[in-house]
Structure 1
């Protein structure tokens, strides 16, 4: 399979390493948001660029009738417009806030725990996420996804960054050099606390999941998520 890498930073390089080991070809590498490129030799595109470039990259792939998966976060205010654009183009698009297979299992655990805790009003919930200092957005897309799952199953009506309020989930975003990604959800009461946590040890888990998603999505049409790739739910 010929893969286009839209974004050739640390994640792009990790994806390249794993893709080559799985006998794929990297047919295109886009390093800068304003680079000119075409998809004439590509079967699928993987976007791990920057928030300001993601929407343009995705649309270019859809214009070329190339399936595209994106793991870029920080642009999701425009997600619905990309879904509409993909449908108009009869294209193929998959977005995931996190491609790690472990994190996607963690999502399911988080969803089930939030359902169990929904009737226990003595517990307040908070989320802590820790990432490397080069991460451009805060909170992480994964933390937002976790918060949205909890909101769907509880009385919380939104989330806030850092500043605690009664009706919103507090997300604390911490930046420490060299940390690939840690997410912890805590339910706290006066009596006890319940925590679930996922810790990434390297970028390889994210990169492997992205390549697996690219392998899965080739020759398909529509809008997908990692739940489709992993046959979850």
Structure 2
């Protein structure tokens, strides 16, 4: 498979390494210094583009991929106000777009456990729920896309909460998400249920970027040859 990389920071380098190990070819690498390469024959020859850039540049990158008719695996978070535009491009214009808030297999298992636990805890009104997340100091968005997905999974299954709120609970139906930015932490996400009697905690702690990079390459392999708006629920059956 021919892969284009958009964004060539630490994640881009890790994705490149794993993609080559899995027998794929990197035909184009686009970063801040060569945006014009979206129009190059090399980029247009890609079967899939894997994009990990910044919230400010991601949406324009996706539009350029659509213009070049290159399917997108989107790894950037912090731009979701434009998600309906991506879905419309798939449904009306025949484009291909794979989106996940986190590509790690372990995190997606954690998403499933989180939803299941919320269903159980919904029956026990003595417990309240809150969340914490920690990432490296370079991460621009807060809360993380992973934290938002976890919060949405709780809200779907926990009747006493109807929205998430950054840092505080303005009302009892809010889920507070406390965000920390420290050193080079790849990502720690914690869900905490607490009553007067005890505390129940589930946590996912990423050791490095390898899980994310492998998941992105697996998503690219899954996306190749498909059409439409895709996600982890299509690739994994949890």
TM over 0.5: yes
Superposed displacement of residue 164, structure 1: 2.4
1:87 to 91, 110, 123: 91
1:11-30 residue pairs with structure 2 within 5 A?
A: 11-30=11-30
5+ residue gaps in structure 1? none
Q: What number of residue pairs does the alignment pair up?
A: 232
Secondary structure, in 3 states, of the residue corresponding to 1:27?
strand
Secondary structure, in 3 states, of the residue corresponding to 2:32?
coil
Which residue is equivalent to 1:35?
35
Secondary structure, in 3 states, of the residue corresponding to 2:53?
coil
CA contact (8 A) 2:27 2:46 kept: yes
Superposed displacement of residue 172, structure 1: 0.6
Distance 1:34 1:82, change over 3 A: farther
- Partners of 1:41 and 1:85 in 2: how far apart? 20
Which residue is equivalent to 2:101?
97
5+ residue gaps in structure 2? none
- Partners of 2:78 and 2:57 in 1: how far apart? 11
CA contact (8 A) 1:6 1:46 kept: yes
Which residue is equivalent to 1:8?
8
Which residue is equivalent to 2:149?
145
Which residue is equivalent to 1:160?
165
- Partners of 1:124 and 1:19 in 2: how far apart? 43
- Partners of 1:200 and 1:80 in 2: how far apart? 30
- Partners of 1:49 and 1:89 in 2: how far apart? 24
Which residue is equivalent to 2:54?
50
Which residue is equivalent to 1:181?
187
Q: Bigger CA drift: 22-31 or 211-220?
A: 22-31
